[in-house]
Amino acid sequence: MTAAPHHPREGDRLASLRSYQVLDTGPDAALDALTGAAARLLGAPAALVALLDEDRQWFASASGLESVFGYQTRQTSREASFCAWAVATEQALVVPDASADSRFADNALVTGPEHVRAYAGAPIIGRDGLPLGALCVVDRHARQFAAAGVQALGELATSVAELLELRRLDAAAGLAPRQVLAESHELRAGIDAGQLVVHYQPVVDLASGDWRGVEALVRWDHPRRGLLAPGAFLPVAEASGLVVPLGREVLTLACTQVALWRAAPPATAGGGAAADLHVAVNLSGRQLSEPDVVDVVTDALVVSGLPAQALTLELTETSLAGTGAQVDSALARVREAGVRLALDDFGTGYASHAYLQRFQPDVVKIDRCFVAALGRSGRDDLLTGSLIDLGLQLGCEVVAEGVETAGQARALRDLGVRTAQGYLFSPPRAADDLLALLGARG
């Protein structure tokens, strides 16, 4: 028997395959759809995504395999792998009659009860340029494969590689594949159906109690699950890229709403208390890296009529991590237009000082964990106080987040903080409820 060959860079190839973390995972409907399509296109009873491991081939998908083998399995020995040949040569392999081919005549799958007679396979090339396995079709009868069919197999193999890459990225983001796919479809439909709503939390002057502005916080008014907080859908929005259209929608809704409040006649909006209201909108890293982010921001201002000076964009260290000159120049242009920039969740990142230096925010928002820590111990107070000092020394407006008690508000004032938000003043509320509250204050 001719031994199944190895790829010239077998060690690297195996390392690349392992990095996908796909071996021995559950069934995958999207891969099954691709093998189903391959079997139909080539008129074969079975099609497989065979990933070539050290001493086995593992089937990430196996459509119709039972009809050929007579039993269902997700792996065979490496020795019996036809795909190993396509992998070793990085070329499509066509075997019209295995029993007449010296490489396969004594292959266990040919001589055994599986009775494989014909094979066509195309290598699946991973992101490192190394083959992970092959997409193949098998038949129990000797037969020819049309060149167009073999070419189509190669194209489907590329789609398999792209799908495996998506799965790898989802796994890296800590998301289960089917969860992302199903939920991102639902979220896309939800965005299109206008199910995103924006709630607003007032940002309050600690000395006077006056409202300086509001922070816009997205919610998904889900038809079955009710009103969802961002933690329930932002990870999927990030992983799927939907956070880009989502963020655009929130920006437009928030600018439009606050422009309306500012223009509202005094009787309906707290005796004119809303005339100077500004709005803070959170921006994700994905959104920041979009080439048209500056246009998106300026469009929202133009469409809503909100002056640029009334808008603050909130960024986190996480959203800035890994970005470079392109994002820096986009931020500089937004700021030139008059928009303010805030560093959100300040103090929670690993390199707060570095981001302060690079990005020079107008506002720093002290994360609520530092507010919650106030009064716990001398060390805690010192840490929170030094974060506040740092912001103030750099000339930033310092906003404290998550203020829940009057004691915290007092302590923050003593530490030099002028503005804050939190449940003590108001939780985030729907626009109409907030307007009522504002009216009641006016």
The residue ranges that bind ligand C2E (CB under 6 A) are: 201, 217-218, 229-231, 234, 243, 247, 250, 282-284, 314, 344-345, 368, 401-404, 421-423, 428
By beta-carbon proximity to ligand C2E, the closer residue of 81 and 319 is 319
- DSSP for 300-313 reads HHHHHT--GGGEEE
Q: Residue ranges of the alpha helices (H) in 27-143? A: 29-42, 65-69, 83-89, 108-111
Q: Which does 428 bind (CB under 5 to 8 A by kind): Mg ion, ligand C2E, none?
A: ligand C2E
Whole-angstrom distance, CA of residue 86 vs CA of residue 13: 14
Does residue 116 contact residue 97 with C-beta atoms inside 8 Å?
A: no
Phi, psi of 185 (to 5 degrees): -60, -45
Least CB distance from residue 190 to Mg ion, whole Å?
Answer: 22
Q: Which does 217 bind (CB under 5 to 8 A by kind): Mg ion, ligand C2E, none?
A: ligand C2E
Residue 150 DSSP one-character state: H
Q: Which does 336 bind (CB under 5 to 8 A by kind): ligand C2E, Mg ion, none?
A: none
Least CB distance from residue 1 to ligand C2E, whole Å?
Answer: 58
Question: Rounded to an integer, what is the distance from CA 388 to the centroid of its chain?
Answer: 32
CA 55-56-62 angle, to 5 degrees, is 170
Q: Which does 240 bind (CB under 5 to 8 A by kind): ligand C2E, Mg ion, none?
A: none
By beta-carbon proximity to Mg ion, the closer residue of 4 and 283 is 283
Q: Which does 17 bind (CB under 5 to 8 A by kind): ligand C2E, Mg ion, none?
A: none
| Residues in contact with Mg ion by the rule CB under 5 A | 282, 314, 344-345, 401
> Which residues fall within 8 angstroms of residue 199, CB to CB, at 6 or more apart?
216, 217, 218, 219, 428, 429, 430, 431
Least CB distance from residue 373 to Mg ion, whole Å?
Answer: 15
By beta-carbon proximity to ligand C2E, the closer residue of 110 and 417 is 417
By beta-carbon proximity to ligand C2E, the closer residue of 64 and 347 is 347
By beta-carbon proximity to ligand C2E, the closer residue of 407 and 423 is 423
Determine the angle formed by the axes of helices 293-304 and 243-263, rounding to 10 degrees. Answer: 30
Could you tell me whether strands 397-400 and 363-366 are parallel, antiparallel, or unpaired per DSSP bridges?
parallel
Q: Which does 177 bind (CB under 5 to 8 A by kind): ligand C2E, Mg ion, none?
A: none
By beta-carbon proximity to ligand C2E, the closer residue of 92 and 288 is 288
By beta-carbon proximity to ligand C2E, the closer residue of 161 and 251 is 251
Least CB distance from residue 93 to ligand C2E, whole Å?
Answer: 47
Specify the amino acid at residue 187: L
In the complex, residue closest to ligand C2E by CB? 422
3-state secondary structure of 362: coil
Sign of CA dihedral 154, 156, 160, 161: positive
Six token digits for residue 183: 């939920």
Least CB distance from residue 403 to ligand C2E, whole Å?
Answer: 6
Least CB distance from residue 277 to Mg ion, whole Å?
Answer: 17
Least CB distance from residue 422 to ligand C2E, whole Å?
Answer: 3
Six token digits for residue 34: 């691709």
The CB density around residue 3, as the number of other CB atoms within 10 Å, is: 9
